[in-house]
Structure 1
Amino acid sequence: MTHSTTATTSSFLPLTPAGQTPLRVLTIAGSDSGGGAGIQADMRTFALLGVHSLVAVTAVTVQNSLGVKGFHEIPLDVIAGQIEAVASDIGLQAAKTGMLASSEIIETIADTWVAQGLSGTVPLIVDPVCASMHGDPLLHPSALNALKEKLFPLATLVTPNLDEVGLLTGIEVVDEDSQRDAARALHALGPSWALVKGGHLRSSAQSPDLLFDGTDFHRFDSTRIDTTHDHGAGDTLAAATASALAHGYSVPDAVAFAKRWVTECIRSAYPLGQGHGPVSALFRLAP
């Protein structure tokens, strides 16, 4: 099944009336000092899609438009405490992960997720961030197994890009057939749904994403936008998908919505600093 990605104003998620409590979505991710990706990108999409942002910071990065200079991991008890604090008091309708840095952090998040009774009740999107768009490592190599063994089985959806797919499955995606093979291999690791993003699939004139639930494939195409300013695109897609799931969308409909959203964000991207600028959710503020 192939889904259209044409965006219209009516395709945006509804905004909660002023004074009423909006839906809540949690991001468990790293902070980007350059503001282009990570928690900062997630919170922009959450805000402009009308959901309230909850945050569990896993790491603080030192980065700008040129790359990641370093990062500092947050203590494990603080990461667990952030999730416990918001889950026990505020409540959440969906969550996503981003930069998790180490196997210890991944195991802590998985254990906390289960202990808080969130597994099976709150949709969880795992965006397996392994490296920045510049190729700077954001995940210790030893953490790949923890990601696959501890977190993937808890995930409603995993959303790797092609480089991450290669690290996770050993499959190099070069065409539609290998993209399907990769989706099957990812689904076999335990998530309910697997999305193989095709933004870097240069053999296609489109930007094809492929979703798989163990039985059926759903393909999401959009016209490839020629830009070097695509920092935070993966975070934005996962954040938009989580927002749609919070609103009760099915997984295919949530991915279709997020694909439309991130396409418009890429179309609205702007230059920043001397390197790669960010995708921009600010287009929604235009009259």
Structure 2
Amino acid sequence: MKHVLSIAGTDPSGGAGAAADCKTFCAHGCFALNVITAVVSQNTQGVRGYMDVTPDLIADQIDAVFEDIDVDAVKIGMVSVPETIRVIADKLRQYQPRFVVIDPVMVATSGHRLLVPEAEQTLKEVLLPLADVLTPNIPEAEVLTGKTIENLSDMEDAAKAISAMGARAVLVKGGHRVEDATDILFDGQELHYFKGKRVDSTSTHGTGCSLSSAIASDLANGMSLADAVAEAKQYVYEGIAHAEPIGKGHGPIHHFYELYKKAGLQ
């Protein structure tokens, strides 16, 4: 069994952040580890507030994991302040995990901004170059590049521009596109296209967290990057398509749909 670490914020409603990461790891047959970067007060209707964990405690959590357990992949989510970003980057350089997947969580599904403006440059300069895969959605890719994205050509340009900032591979997610849900992966050499079917559903809470966590799990399990992205996209699609109606807002995806199906618990 591979060991995959989430470095992210909390979600007491269980649909996003570290909760979604760990559910996704387990759904992919991996052992889930987690380091908490921020305690977030949120539910399916939105984010109410958050409190950042101190850099020293984040560092101590990371040390506690790596000094005891072999880590096969790391997924990084909410890192809202420069101090948090720097301490995580220091620890990644110290322990050098095989795979690092970064979901640049800047804006929650509800629209709440989770990355303070002064942290954006730190993210680009310090953490982004350590990513084996960076998974921005279109609004996040616009923040990172400073350019408006309106079509597939713009997504291609954004993926290449972000890769030039240091990330080894960039997956620009097209879920915010109106006409389709095509994602574009630039692996540093080639562009890969992942077409998706749009689901008419409000169960989209934590989709970005779950996608990046699925990619990290698949890489840890030995998949190629392109195959990992394809599987992760299908995993999230099935999770949305078979989600249970939980909460009064944007509910969570069904992280364990395939396992429930195999167990006859549909």
Quote how far apart the aligned CAs of 1:280 are: 1.2
In structure 1, the residue matched to 2:22 is 43
In structure 2, the residue matched to 1:107 is 86
Amino acid at match of 2:45: L
Distance 2:44 2:215 in 1: 25
Q: Choose which of 221, 230, 233 in structure 2 pairs with 1:247.
A: 221
Quote how far apart the aligned CAs of 1:271 are: 2.4
TM-score for the superposition, normalised by structure 1: 0.89
Q: Choose which of 67, 73, 91 in structure 1 pairs with 2:52.
A: 73
Quote how far apart the aligned CAs of 1:84 are: 1.3
Question: Conserved in 2, the CA contact under 8 Å of 1:157 and 1:192?
Answer: yes
Distance 2:148 2:239 in 1: 27
Amino acid at match of 1:243: S
Distance 2:125 2:245 in 1: 39
Quote how far apart the aligned CAs of 1:66 are: 1.2
Quote how far apart the aligned CAs of 1:24 are: 0.2
Distance 2:82 2:48 in 1: 21
TM-score for the superposition, normalised by structure 2: 0.96
In structure 2, the residue matched to 1:148 is 124
Give the paired residue count.
Answer: 261
Q: Choose which of 37, 52, 63 in structure 2 pairs with 1:84.
A: 63
Amino acid at match of 1:113: L
* Structure 2 gap ranges (5+): none
Amino acid at match of 1:196: V
Amino acid at match of 2:241: R
Instruction: Please give the per-residue CA displacement for 1:159-183, whole angstroms capped at 9, x wherever unaligned.
Output: 0111111111112221111111111
Distance 1:254 1:148 in 2: 24
Q: Choose which of 113, 122, 125 in structure 2 pairs with 1:137.
A: 113
What is the CA RMSD across the aligned residues, in angstroms?
A: 1.0
Distance 1:178 1:261 in 2: 26
In structure 2, the residue matched to 1:192 is 168
* Structure 1 gap ranges (5+): 1-21
Q: Choose which of 187, 190, 205 in structure 2 pairs with 1:216.
A: 190
Q: Secondary structure at the match of 2:70?
A: coil
In structure 2, the residue matched to 1:24 is 3
Amino acid at match of 1:271: P
Quote how far apart the aligned CAs of 1:214 are: 2.6
Quote how far apart the aligned CAs of 1:185 are: 1.0
Quote how far apart the aligned CAs of 1:108 are: 0.5
In structure 1, the residue matched to 2:246 is 272
Identity score, percent: 43
